[in-house]
Structure formats: structure tokens, C-alpha cells
Structure 1
Amino acid sequence: MAMAQKMLIAFDGSTRARLALERAAELLKPSSVEILTAWEPVTRQTARALGRTGMPQTTVEQEHLGSEYDEAEDYAMSMLREGVELAQQLGLEARAHLVESSSTAPQAIVDAAKELQVDVIVLGTRGIGGVRSWFTNSTAESVVHNAGIPVFIVPPVDEDDTLSAS
């Protein structure tokens, strides 16, 4: 198998993301990787959630808009550090990329892949199928359809992983 020259690994700290990083290291054998964690500000997450309920988005508390601190960014940074540490434990050189998502996480992954000019995107998937997939957006599916480059998708190991990672 030819070694990918430049690889982007989408890492959110989940079991799926860890497994994807481990399998990419084992099977694709990169010497270095770009680790990406996409995050969304708390106020935007809240507004999106309210939009799904039909409630007016003007009810979102604006208390944090003036401040620079966002706990979602802190959490994303800690996940990114974990990804870099795992890559290093696997013997890979890793560069960290924390990206604020302006639309969706899959779009942030695709945009970063284009900007970094990577050869392949690696990510884990929940492995949801059937009726449940009708109601759940799939990051992996969206990335595959929009990336324009190969995407290495690692499914969950077993039923328990699928259920606990949902």
C-alpha cells in the first residue's frame, strides 16, 4: 500500500477518533500527520439547538459575546492535545490545528483539508445505519461527498462501541 504523503486526522477525543488514528498509523504508515479538531462557540451551538426546536433564536443569552473565553474552545483544545499526544505515542510527528467551525464540523474538516493540501482525510464513524441514520447527520458521509480527495473511514469495533459513542 502506497504511503499517503500528507494526512489529516479529524480528532474529537472520542473512542472512534482514537481508533481511526491508531488504524491510520498501522495501515497507512504515515511519518507525520495533521491533527484537526473543529469546535463551535457555545452561543452558536445554543442558537442552532434552539432553531431545531422552533424557538426564536433571539432568546439565546448573550452574556459571553463580549468576553474572549469560550468553554467549548477550551474543551476542543484539550481534545486536540490528546490527539497530538496519541499520535506521538504511535511514533508519528503531529501538527495541531484547532479550527473554529463557521458552519458545520464536516465543512470545517473539508476546508482544512483543502487549505493544508492533504492527500487523505482520516476519521472514525459511529456506524449508524437503518432508520437511525435518517435522523442523524453523518460527519463521515458529508466529508466523503464533499472532500474531493480520498477519505479513510474507520468504523466502530463492535456493537457496544457504536451504542456508547452515539
Structure 2
Amino acid sequence: MSTQPTSMLIAYDGSRRARHALVRAAELLRPDTVELITAWEPVTRQTARALGRTGMPQTTVEIDPEGEGTDAAQAHALSILEDGVELAHELGLKSRAHLVETSGTTSQAIVDAAKELKVDVIVVGTRGLSGVRSWFNSSTAEQILQNAGLPVFIVPPTGSDGPESEDYSSETPLSAF
């Protein structure tokens, strides 16, 4: 009986941290199956949430009731997910891609997907914030750890990916992991 996980879900947002987490998980866990997930939030919901924080009326957000047209956030998330699939392939991993629209938090979308896909472990990168900075930044990795009910493999940033070298301008507009 093998003690190694045979399937894992990797939360992939295209950041250096997510790429690093995928590489380290492939090296250390050697999974049979990789479920790549990119969670995204529709632009209209992002806008409504942002307006809610400013106190402006949320009725100014136009929603496409017909579902026509392409959501820019969804198209961007799809390109990020395709990048993750390509990286998994380069690492010799069999992978399946899942684009998940969030209706709440990114962490809950990841936990829900892991349960639905019945994976053995969730893999997620982290920004590695500590001290006062961590008080003001919610950690998706921590939320996943607290709510997953299954093993979570958290990959800390490397020296060049640590919080001191954070390049927020290169982050994706998706909810950060």
C-alpha cells in the first residue's frame, strides 16, 4: 500500500508562487493525477464588490442578463489555466484542467472543487507573509488548511519569491491565492 498521494488538486493562478508549488509538488509528491484549478470571479462581481467598499450604489454595475459576450476575467483565467496545463505536461504529469467561477471566496471554491474531484491532497503556494503584514492580509492557503478536511501541501516562496520581493504589478487580476 502506497502512502504517497495519487491525485492532487493544484490551485494555479499563474503567479511565480503557483508555478513553484506545481514544480515542488511534482518533485515531492509524484502524483498519478493532477487536477489543475483556476478560480475566477466575473468582472461584474469584482466591480460590484469594489463599489460596495467605496459606498457607491452597486446598481451602477451593468450585468449581462443574457449571458452573451465574453467576460474578460474568464478569458484571462482560461489563458492562465492553459499555462498551468503546459507546465504540468513539461513536468511529465497527466493533468486535467478546471476553470471554476467563484461565488464566494477563492479558498471555498478550491475546497469545494477538491471535495467534488475526490483528490488526496490540495497543493497551494503562499506569499509567506508574517508579522504585522499578515494581520492585514487574509491567507487563502490558511483558509484552505482550516476548511479542507484533507491534507494540504503548502509550498512557501523561494528567496526570490518572498514577500520582500513581491511584484504586485505582475499579479493576475484573479483573486490571489
- TM-score, structure 2 as length reference: 0.87
Q: Provide the secondary structure at the position in 2 that maps to 1:123.
A: strand
Q: Provide the secondary structure at the position in 2 that maps to 1:99.
A: strand
Deviation at 1:135, TM superposition (A): 1.6
Do the aligned residues in 2 keep the contact of 1:105 with 1:139 (CA within 8 Å)? yes
Which sections of structure 1, spanning at least 5 residues, go unmatched? Answer: none
Supply the AA of the counterpart residue of 2:80: M
- TM-score, structure 1 as length reference: 0.92
The one-character-per-residue Cα deviations of 1:107-130 (angstroms, maximum 9, x if unpaired) are 100000010011100010011111
Pairwise CA RMSD of aligned residues? Answer: 1.7
The 5 Å alignment of 1:139-158 reads 139-158=140-159
Q: Provide the secondary structure at the position in 1 that maps to 2:3.
A: coil
Deviation at 1:59, TM superposition (A): 2.6
Which sections of structure 2, spanning at least 5 residues, go unmatched? Answer: 169-177
Do the aligned residues in 2 keep the contact of 1:4 with 1:120 (CA within 8 Å)? yes
Do the aligned residues in 1 keep the contact of 2:128 with 2:162 (CA within 8 Å)? no
Supply the AA of the counterpart residue of 2:18: A
Supply the AA of the counterpart residue of 1:81: E
Q: Provide the secondary structure at the position in 1 that maps to 2:14.
A: coil
Percentage identity across paired residues of the two chains: 64
The one-character-per-residue Cα deviations of 1:87-124 (angstroms, maximum 9, x if unpaired) are 01000000000111111111100000010011100010
Supply the AA of the counterpart residue of 1:121: I
How many Å separate the matches in 2 of 1:63 and 1:102? 15
Do the aligned residues in 2 keep the contact of 1:16 with 1:165 (CA within 8 Å)? no
Q: Provide the secondary structure at the position in 1 that maps to 2:49.
A: helix
How many Å separate the matches in 2 of 1:28 and 1:165? 29
How many Å separate the matches in 2 of 1:65 and 1:165? 36
Do the aligned residues in 2 keep the contact of 1:120 with 1:152 (CA within 8 Å)? yes
Between the two proteins, the alignment pairs up a number of residues equal to 165
Q: Provide the secondary structure at the position in 2 that maps to 1:97.
A: strand
Find 1:164's aligned residue among 149, 163, 166. 166
* Alignment correspondent of 1:86: 87
* Alignment correspondent of 2:7: 6
